[in-house]
Amino acid sequence: MKLKQRVVLLAILLVIFIFTKVFLIDNLDTSAANREDQRAFHRMMASLRVELDPRLDHTMQSPWEIAAQWVVPREVYPEETPELGAVMHAMLTKKIIKADVGYKGTQLKALLILEGGQKVVFKPKRYARDYVVEGEPYAGYDRHNAEVAAFHLDRILGFRRAPLVVGRFVNLRTEIKPVATEQLLGTFMTVGNSTCFYGKCYYCRETEPACADGDVMEGSVTLWLPDVWPLQKHRHPWGRTYREGKLARWEYDESYCDAVKKTSPYDSGPRLLDIIDTAIFDYLIGNADRHHYESFQDDEGASMLILLDNAKSFGNPALDERSILAPLYQCCIIRVSTWNRLNYLKNGVLKSALKTALSHDPISPVLSDSHLDALDQRLLSILATVKQCTDQFGSDVVLVEDRMTLSHL
């Protein structure tokens, strides 16, 4: 073989070798990431049932100290939480030492201080489980059971960005009124044989109190995030106007995502992908009311989008408000880890997983079967939306690898 031919042949072999090596390494990396996603999914499935057990045999710390140490910029709680049951048991059983009106907002809530100084937010029961909230997707009172269900869905999706929530029954006469502030106490009333209160908030009215069954009120308690992690409020870029006849820009501008990508903190870092994750989460639970969101302060866009205030969810199982998915279908990007998790949850797995997770809550059954069925149907819509994106732009563009090392020091 002539020297020139040998050189050409060697060059071709070298190109083939380099291409094969790069291709194999890339696929090995992808396969390794997918395998880790699958292992994480199996770990989650194995820990679905949270036993509300007060024992903390391996530590002298209080449940409140443990929960506070879990919080880091990208997680409210870690993947492996053997103490989760003990923390939630404390939220369920610790004595209420103070009760006050809730923090600023539009909906009725109470701020409780539990023994040991831990703040929790109490949201009262307003509707029966099978009640269907008609009208706009953000209509109606807050649903306390929605907070419980949303927390466990956050666990199942692997986001770990929602504060801990558990259902709790409280006796308004013996547990709340004796320790209530004058401001809260002034909103108590009796309707028939039931103790009621209407609190202080933008939409709170004396004519629309929340009433107990006699003296005992069902509700949810949400664990207050540690004060060392102050929150910063942001206007959601896909927020609604809440004005009849007035559309937000994203509702008529199909290129809106391009404009969002040019503004901080969506032009770099994880925030835009967090918005996509949140849109998926909100679509599954039917929450069309996330007009603002919170992150940790001074985060320069690195903090997670915290999944707070999920009570405007699970209102109407027959209503699939597709506009909630606008960040997904307008930006056409999604985390690979989120995409993998969604695929693991299809074929009825999501409904089964959430039903199992909720079965141990004190206010179980938390959701009606119609709401659980709706989750599986909405999941199919999300998967179809992503497929439309990949068909149009390709998987390399749509599926974004964005994994972060999360340390709990």
pLDDT higher than 80, residue 256: yes
**pLDDT-wise least confident of 29-43, 150-164, 246-260, 276-290:** 29-43
Average pLDDT, the chain: 91
3-class SS of residue 180: strand
* Token pair listed for 157: 């999706």
Angle at 355 between CA 353 and CA 360, to 5 degrees: 110
CA 311 to CA 285: how far, in whole Å? 10
* Token pair listed for 362: 């004190």
For residues 85 and 360, the answer to whether their CB atoms sit within 8 Å is no
Nearest Cα to Cα of residue 92 among 127, 136, 51: 51
- Residue 222, annotated ligand binder? yes
- Residue 80, annotated ligand binder? no
* In the block, residue with structure tokens 């939480």: 81
- Residue 224, annotated ligand binder? yes
CA 125 to CA 168: how far, in whole Å? 10
Residues in the chain: 409
Which residues in 61-141 belong to E strands, given as ranges?
96-101, 110-114, 118-124
Nearest Cα to Cα of residue 201 among 184, 185, 213, 217: 184
3-class SS of residue 149: helix
**Whole-prediction pTM:** 0.90
The pLDDT value given to residue 407: 39
CA 87 to CA 66: how far, in whole Å? 8
Q: Which of 154, 289, 361, 376 is catalytic?
A: 289
371-401 pLDDT tens trace = 999 999 999 999 999 999 999 999 999 999 9
Q: What are the phi and psi torsion angles at 45 (to 5°)?
A: -60, -35
Nearest Cα to Cα of residue 35 among 338, 399, 340: 340
3-12 pLDDT tens trace = 555 554 555 5
* Token pair listed for 3: 């020297």
- Look up 57 and say whether it is catalytic: no
- Residue 184, annotated ligand binder? no
90-123 pLDDT tens trace = 999 999 999 999 977 899 999 999 999 999 999 9
Residues 6+ apart with CB under 8 A from 133: 127, 139, 140, 143, 315, 316
* Token pair listed for 277: 């994750």
pLDDT higher than 90, residue 147: yes
State mean pLDDT over 292-300: 87
Print burial letters for 28-53: b (CB count within 10 Å at least 16), e (below 16): eeeeeeeeebeebbeebbeebebebe
Burial (CB < 10 A; 0-12, 13-18, 19+), residue 254, is exposed
3-class SS of residue 256: helix
**DSSP structure string for 290-348:** -SEEEEETT-TT-S--B-----S-SS-TT---GGGGHHHHHH--EEHHHHHHHHHTTTT
- Residue 95, annotated ligand binder? no
340-381 pLDDT tens trace = 999 999 999 999 999 999 999 999 999 999 999 999 999 999
Q: What are the phi and psi torsion angles at 189 (to 5°)?
A: -160, 165
- Residue 261, annotated ligand binder? no
